[in-house]
Structures are given as C-alpha cells and as structure tokens.
Structure 1
Amino acid sequence: MLDAIARLRRFNRAVTREVGALDTSFLGRGRPLGMARVLQLVQPDGTDVALIRDRLALDSGLMSRFLRSLEREGLITTASDPADRRRRIARLTEAGREEMAAYDTIGRDSAARIIARAGSRAAEVVAAMDLIATLLNRDQLAIRPADPDTPEALACLQAYFDELVARVPAAQPGMFSLPDPQSDSYRPPQGRFLIAWSDDLPVGCVSLRPLDGAVAEVKRLWVHDSARGQGLARRLMTAIEDEARAMRVSLLKLDTNSALTEALALYRATGWTATAPYTGLPADTWLEKPL
C-alpha cells in the first residue's frame, strides 16, 4: 500500500488533470484556469482587486496581467475606489456576466458527469470532497452575519435539527419547524445569526437571542461533518460571545443535552458552568457564562 504522501500526490495529479489546470483554454472558453478564477471572483457590484489576489495567492505581476487581459476582452472594468484611491475595484461588464453564466453551465455539467461516475457511492464521494475542500480552505474560512431565514441558514438549521433527532433520544422531528418561529429574535437589533463559510459552502452556524435585560441565550451551534476537529465550534462560540459583548450582554445562557458530549466538553472548557433549568425537553443540561 502506498504511503499517505504518495497517495496525496496521486490525488493531486488526478485533480490537476481532471479540472484542466494545465489547459490553455479552461472549459473550452479560451483562457487558462487562473484567469478564469479571477473572473469568477469579480462581482457585478465590484470586488477589491487585493481581495481577489489574496484569495487566489497570486503575485501582483500575474494578477495585473490577468486583469489587463480580461479588460481587453471587455469582461471587466477596473477603477480606483472613490472612498480610498489606494484600492482598485474590478466589476463585471454585461459581457462578463454572460461569460460567467457560460462557465457556470459548463462547470455544473462537468461536475455532474464526474459525480455520476461514482454511481451508488456518489454521496460518499461528495462527502469526501467536502472534507478535503474544507481542510484545504481552513485558512480562508470566514464567519459572517446572516439572516436566519436565508436558504443557507435554513440548510444549517435543518442539518442541526436532523442531528438532534439522530443523537438525542428525547428529540422528535415534530419538535422542530422551519422557518424557525423564533427567527425574528435572531435578527438585529434583538439578536444575531452567524454562518461559517468555507468558500461557498456553509459549514457551521450559531445564534444569539435575548432573554431578559442583559441576559441572552446562545442557540443552534452546529458544525458540518467536514469541518469538525478543526476548532470551528470554538471559533463560532468566540464570535457569538463577541457579538453579545458588543450588545452589552452581561450573562449568557444555553441549554443542551448530555448526549451531545463534544459540545458539552467545549462549553465546560471555555468557562460555562451549570445553572438552573429554564427550558424543557429535549434539553437536560443548562449552562451559563458571565461576560
């Protein structure tokens, strides 16, 4: 059996070939992969050129050449930011939006063909790809505020409820509904809802809602399987505690279940202590943390 390093290098070679990383015409659209990735990161309403360069780890000279080529094709425009002349903003043109739509169609068709090769193991293969991509994107993972009723937030909440039903004996499917009837309490100025993003995949969430005065409750902490073991749950808890401090909250509470052993270990390791019960099933453990 090949060792782990040899297997990883084999995987890298296979991916390089399959995605066309060495093609001069990525997906048959007449430009290499690097230039196509730059185009894909430009938003119609504008994207900071420095952010694109950092996201793709490109040197300034290569980034400039890509931008000039895309401008000559009429796919983007670049201009100084009126609010900060040191920043340059790239924007998609109408032709650029059409080109992006073509890339998206071809890319989705190509991805579907690859997944179809896996046959009955497709779900297993996709889960493995999620794990690898989340690991590789670990340094670019971002936690951002979100509305609790967006499709991405609802997907996170559904996964969270599914896990409760699977792991907590007292949790029954009928206990949970979406959209969440309490969603208004997770919106500013009352509360907060945060999503962790790995590229364009939501891989975690956590929320905060007011209880009484300067007391608030942390709810819905969830991390995607592919992102576990990387410290994301701790980062989400730190982020929501920071939000609570900014809202002048002095005491946090949460309820959980003893079956969720990983979550309990995290809470106890980060200063949460037992408090009196304040909710019912499926919770059987109640904690608090002064800020």
Structure 2
Amino acid sequence: MDSLATARFRRFARAVTAEVGALDTSFLGRGRPLGAARVLNAIGAGRAEVGEIRAYLGLDSGLMSRLLRGLEEEGLVTTAPHPADARRRVASLTEAGRREFEAYEALSDARAVALLERASHADDLLRAMDRVALVLGQEAIAIQETDPTSEPARACLAAYYAELAARFAGGFDVALSCDPEAVDMVRPRGAFLIAVADGVPVGCVGLTGRGGPVAEIKRLWVDPAARGLGVAKRLMQAAESAARDLGIRTLRLDTNSALSEAMALYRRSGWVEIDRFNDDPYPDHFFEKAL
C-alpha cells in the first residue's frame, strides 16, 4: 500500500477520533470518558451479562472491571451474580443510571443530526459510514432466525424489492411474482433468516417449504454496504442448515440473469441449473441442490 493511502487512512482515523470525542475526559459533557459511557450505553440497550458486554466492546477484563466499578460508585449501575450461574455477573441500571443513559441517547442523536446537516451529500456520507462500520465489524455480523413479518424482515424485503425494481430492465412488481406466504417461511415448514450488524439488519434469505422433502430458497438480499464480506454465503449456509433440520432433502431457487453476483454464488456453492419449475415472470435461471 502506498504512502498516500496510509496518510488518508490516518487522516480519517484522526477525524473520527475527534468527532466522537474518544479523547475527551467528559464525553458529551456528562463528566466521564467515552469508555464508561459505552459501558453504560451497552447496559441500557439490553446487554446485561458482564462477559457479553466486555466482548461486545472489545475490552479486557481488567478495564471492564474498572469501568463497572466507577459506574457503581456513581450510583448508576449495580451488579449481581447471574441467577443461573454464580460465576457470571449481570449488570443493570439504577434509576439514576437510566436517566443518564437517556441523556446520552438524546445528546448522541443530536450530534448525529448536526453532523448530517453539515454534509452537502448526507446520503453519500451515510453509505460511506455503513461500509466502514461493516468492514470493521464484520466478525460480529450475526445470522438470526426471525418472523418474516417482523419489522427487520420487512425492512430487508422492502430494500430487496426496491433493488429488483432498479436492476430489472422492466422493473419489478411483487404482486406479479411468486411471492412466498409468510406461513411457509416459519417452522415447521421453513425459516426466515436475517444478518444483523450491531442491531441493524443487513441481509436476509427465506426458506420456503410446504411440509415435504422439497423447499425453495427465496429473497436472498444483502445490503450493498455489506457485500464482499461473505454475508450472502453465510445466509445460504444457514438456510441449508435449517432445511436439513426440517428434513428437507432438495432445495430449489430461481433468479434473474441481472443478478450476476447471486448466480455466481450459487454456481460456486454446488447448485446445478435445471429446467423452469414455476410460472413466475421474472426469473430466467433455475437451480437445484441436493442436501
């Protein structure tokens, strides 16, 4: 890598450090540094087990203990043995801690709004932020099974349909496609899986079954910012694993030649092209895989 690329990276790191207040002794003016504020935020956001918080924030055990002790001394956090395992500890916010968490949330939201209002191309800036966050946090992207009618699932599907409308020469109307029923994408018939990065959905895939040994893969989508990180491959592997759990022995899928990345993934993953098996007007390639 050339020296200019290194200089650009370091300039970016310095700008982010200054913007987020990483070196401030009083993050957002609340009297404590960023590390303590992040621990408080993690607990307020629902992470209770101390080991989970430490892993989420990438802290060593010594620093985690010091930060927790400081928050306890302020009367913002309490810790107690885990009810199922006394060797583990759980943390919770006090009433004062809840008020402090909410204050941080309001200030952080206001800072985000102010930054985006300064940008002449806020959408471009957000897309760049998405890409950086996902590349840096790719190891923490999790695959989760969810209800296909849940809000994260609907958000993924809406983005998927919008992308098809933009990429297909004649557009895309979900009402004209063979859209799977939600009931066919929940166990025991099928499953719906999403990829989640720090609480934000960045991909999805549906396993559509009808109780027999054959099922279909539907609606594979990955956020453009997360592409190239292996998310689609992981989603497909999770869908295949779910299919095996359900006793499904053969998977099928259809796709459109405009989705060249998807077709390449299927061929690399052992899928074999077969004849058309439905009357959906949009796909022009059909695949099958024996499990």
**Unpaired stretches in structure 1, ≥5 consecutive residues:** none
Write the distance in 2 (CA, Å) between the matches of 1:88 and 1:43: 16
Which of 234-243 and 203-212 deviates more? 203-212
Contact (CA 8 Å) 1:204, 1:224: kept in 2 or not?
Answer: yes
Q: Equivalent residue of 1:41, what SS? A: helix
SS of the aligned residue for 1:252 comes to: strand
Q: Report if aligned partners of 1:171, 1:281 keep a CA contact under 8 Å in 2.
A: no
CA–CA distance in 2 between the matches of 1:43 and 1:252?
42
Shift of 1:289: 0.7
Does 2:30 correspond to 1:32? no
What SS is found at the alignment partner of 1:230?
A: coil
Structure 2: 5+ residue stretches without partners: none
Separation in structure 2 between the aligned mates of residue 21 and residue 263 of structure 1, nearest angstrom:
40
The structural deviation recorded for 1:138 is 1.0
Contact 1:170 1:282 in 2 (8 A): no
Q: What residue number does 1:224 align with?
A: 223
Find the counterpart in structure 2 of residue 190 from structure 1: 189
Aligned residue in 2 for 1:90: 91
SS in structure 1 at match of 2:257? coil
Q: How far apart are 1:15 and its partner, in Å?
A: 0.8
Distance, in Å, in 1 between the alignment partners of 2:47 and 2:79 is 9
- Does the alignment pair 1:234 with 2:233? yes
Match of 1:282 in 2: 282
Residue 286 of structure 1: how far off its partner (Å): 1.3
Q: Residues 156-183 of structure 1: CA distance to partner in whole angstroms, max 9, x if unpaired?
A: 1011001111112354335379xx7722
TM-score normalised by L of structure 1: 0.93
- The secondary structure found in structure 1 opposite 2:43 is coil
Is it true that 1:272 corresponds to 2:271 in the alignment? Answer: yes
CA RMSD, aligned part only?
Answer: 1.9
> Would the aligned equivalents of 1:44 and 1:93 in 2 still touch at CA under 8 Å?
no
Task: Give, in whole Å, the separation in 1 of the partners of 2:45 and 2:4.
Answer: 46
For 1:42, what is the secondary structure of its paired residue?
helix
Is this contact kept in 1: 2:188–2:211, CA < 8 A? Answer: no
Aligned counterpart, 1:14: 15
Letter in 2 for 1:104: E
Say if 1:25 and 1:32, in contact at 8 Å, map to a contact too: yes
User: 1:27 & 1:43 partners in 2: Cα distance?
Assistant: 17
- Number of equivalent positions: 288
CA 1:44–1:151 in structure 2 vs 1: closer, same or farther (change >3 Å)? closer
TM-superposed CA distance for 1:154, in Å, is 1.1
Identity, % of aligned positions:
52
Which residue does the alignment assign to 1:128?
Answer: 128
